[in-house]
Structure 1
Amino acid sequence: MISRRLMLGGLAGMAAPALSGCGGRPASVSPSYYMPAPGSGEAYRPSVEGLDAVIDISNNVTVGDFRQVRRAGILGVIHKCTEGGDWIDPSYSSRRAQAEQSGLLWGAYHFGTRQYSGSDQAMAFLAIARPGPQTLMALDLEPNERNPRNTMQIAQAEAFVQVVYQQTGRLPLLYTHPKWANGERFGKHRLSLGQPVTPGSVLARCDLWLADYREEPEVPYAWANKGWRLWQYVADETEADAAYGTTPRAIPGISHCDRNLFKGDESQLYRYWRSGGRTA
């Protein structure tokens, strides 16, 4: 996923969500601003509502005990599964069993590249993800910072989504940044998709998993009438490096993670996830 340290190094003056959920039940964000007293140590609360109960991780995250993660109020985990058409996350399968046995909802995401066709990438993803009816699926569409020329293009992403739908009857979530989805230059290498995702694209039919580390996220114009389903508000969070404006905290049982809000309450999250992303 996009690193907050790479993308937001110069945004120290912008507040990010003051969220909790690391002890007991997951917390909902207040829908109105709260201005803390000077010197109180309290953080600003943004005007965004959502359930702070979903994390996403990959093999580079050290996992000690998923039971501790669940006891910390996390309900769902989305794990990297594949990248391109030939890379498999070595932790995916074993962690899936551990997470599900710990009572966590499970999801899988694919990092798209340009090297292989979208349809080939989709088939490789499905072969490893082995999605059940309650597995949330996602396509990560973002600049490939390590190899810019190997960045997935819109046509490949559309082919990926179409194959996943043909094979499963379900659309994956689409993970992206608003600038990237809108065709603007973005990232360390100032890359661009060359064109925006349009409302008529099959990508716009996917629920949006938005990556935007500002106080209030921007919705790409293709999803203007739909909004986001998940909002990744901070990446690579540890106890020593929390989202700006929040109290440093760590989720026990793991070294670090990306944090996400779900648009809805706990019952809606369970209903949505257990349908594989079919319903609100």
Structure 2
Amino acid sequence: MQECIIPNILPLEIMEMQGANVILDISHHNGRVKFDKLAQAGIVGIIHKATQGQTGVDPNFESNRAKALAEGLLWGAYHFATGSDGLKQAQHFLSTVEDLDNTVLVLDFEPNPTGPSMGLEEARAFVTHVKEVTGRYPGFYSGHYIKQLLGTSNDPILAQCWFWLAQYGPTAVVPPNWPTWTMWQYTDGAFGPEPHDVGGTRFDRDTFNGSLQDLRTFWGT
């Protein structure tokens, strides 16, 4: 991966989408990220991949957390789900994240391109364990996959999670299981509405369904 060079831009540029369009989700695939430039550009929160399956750990999670927090950015962690024991995956995720009080937690529920994908029972086990340990349900990130599995039906356990919609189009279409979206990943840096980038570097970009103050309250800061 090439180093991300992110020059400063005006904060107004990142407020074009509905809500507070000030969140990025990243992983080691983004390479070396300049968190100081992101903060200067108006980005407020980072949600970083922490784990995958029962044993995988993103190699940049720890180092990027320290850098992001040093710039005053809000920090979140997500777990990429695989088709295996949901309880064991949740245990692995929480032990890797460690600082559970100050971190937004998310289950990334999408098809796994390298093996079996997590099913609904495994997802229920994952989010239930997170709730038992932390006292709160994690966010639930998904798009077409959850719509395909649930259709028009409801899942009372997964419905306790706040919903992070993945959909690269101009209109947010939320599954019936949730009344609305809390966050919306509207672009992967290539498809979906603008803006796709921060200062010329493309990222997965996410908007929060509320104001900046609502966002900070949601994050617990």
TM-score by length of 1: 0.71
Q: Is the 8 A contact 1:22 1:249 kept in 2?
A: no
Q: Structure 1: which 5+ residue stretches go unaligned?
A: 1-20, 30-47, 184-192, 276-280
- Alpha-carbon distance between aligned partners in 2 of 1:82 and 1:61, rounded to the nearest angstrom: 16
* Counterpart secondary structure, 2:172: coil
Change (3 A) 1:54 1:26: farther
Task: Give how far 1:256 is off.
Answer: 3.5
Which structure 2 residues correspond to residues 5-16 of structure 1 after superposition, within 5 A? none
> In 2, are the aligned partners of 1:209 and 1:232 still within 8 Å (CA)?
yes
**Corresponding residue of 2:92:** 124
Contact 1:158 1:201 in 2 (8 A): no
Secondary structure (helix, strand or coil) at the match of 1:221 reads: coil
- 1:107 and 2:76 aligned: yes
Say which SS state the counterpart of residue 264 (structure 1) adopts: coil
Q: In the alignment, does 2:209 pair up with 1:263? A: yes
Contact 2:208–2:215 at 8 Å: present in 1 too?
yes
Aligned 8 A contact 1:81 1:109 in 2: yes
**Amino-acid identity (%):** 34
The AA in structure 1 aligned to 2:43 is I
2:132 equivalent to 1:166: yes
Q: Larger helix proportion, structure 1 or 2? A: 2
The DSSP-based 3-state class of the residue aligned with 1:163 is helix
Aligned to 1:23: 10
SS in 2 for 1:55: strand
Aligned residues: 214
Instruction: Write the mapping of 1:141-180 to structure 2, written as runs, cut at 5 A.
Output: 141-147=109-115, 150-177=116-143, 179-180=144-145
Counterpart contact for 1:154–1:197, Cα < 8 Å:
no
Residue segments in structure 2 that go unaligned for 5+ positions in a row: 1-7
How does 1:131-146 map onto structure 2 within 5 Å? 131-146=99-114
Q: Deviations over 1:179-212 (max 9, x none)?
A: 32222xxxxxxxxx4x448434211110000000
1:251–1:79 distance in 2 versus 1, CA, 3 Å: farther
Does the CA-based 8 Å contact 1:197-1:203 persist in structure 2? no
The structure-2 alpha-carbon separation of the partners of 1:154 and 1:120, relative to structure 1 and needing over 3 Å to count, comes to same
One-letter amino acid of the structure 2 residue matched with residue 250 of structure 1: V
Match for residue 233 of structure 1?
186
- The structure having more radius of gyration, on CA atoms, is 1
Question: AA paired with 2:42?
Answer: G
Q: 2:161 is matched with which residue?
A: 206
Aligned to 1:18: none
2:134 partner letter: T
- Alpha carbons 2:100, 2:134 under 8 Å: kept: no
CA deviation string 1:148-191 (max 9, x = no partner): xx1000000000000000011111000000x32222xxxxxxxx
**What letter corresponds to residue 210 of structure 2 in structure 1?**
G
SS of residue matched to 1:228: coil
Is the CA contact 1:82–1:111 (under 8 Å) kept in the aligned structure 2?
Answer: yes
RMSD after superposition? 2.2
> How far 1:130 sits from its partner (Å)?
1.2
Q: Structure 1 residue aligned with 2:194, among 235, 246, 259?
A: 246
Greater strand share, 1 or 2? 2
The equivalent residue for 1:182 is: 147
Among residues 20, 23, 26, which one is paired with 1:51 in the alignment? Answer: 20
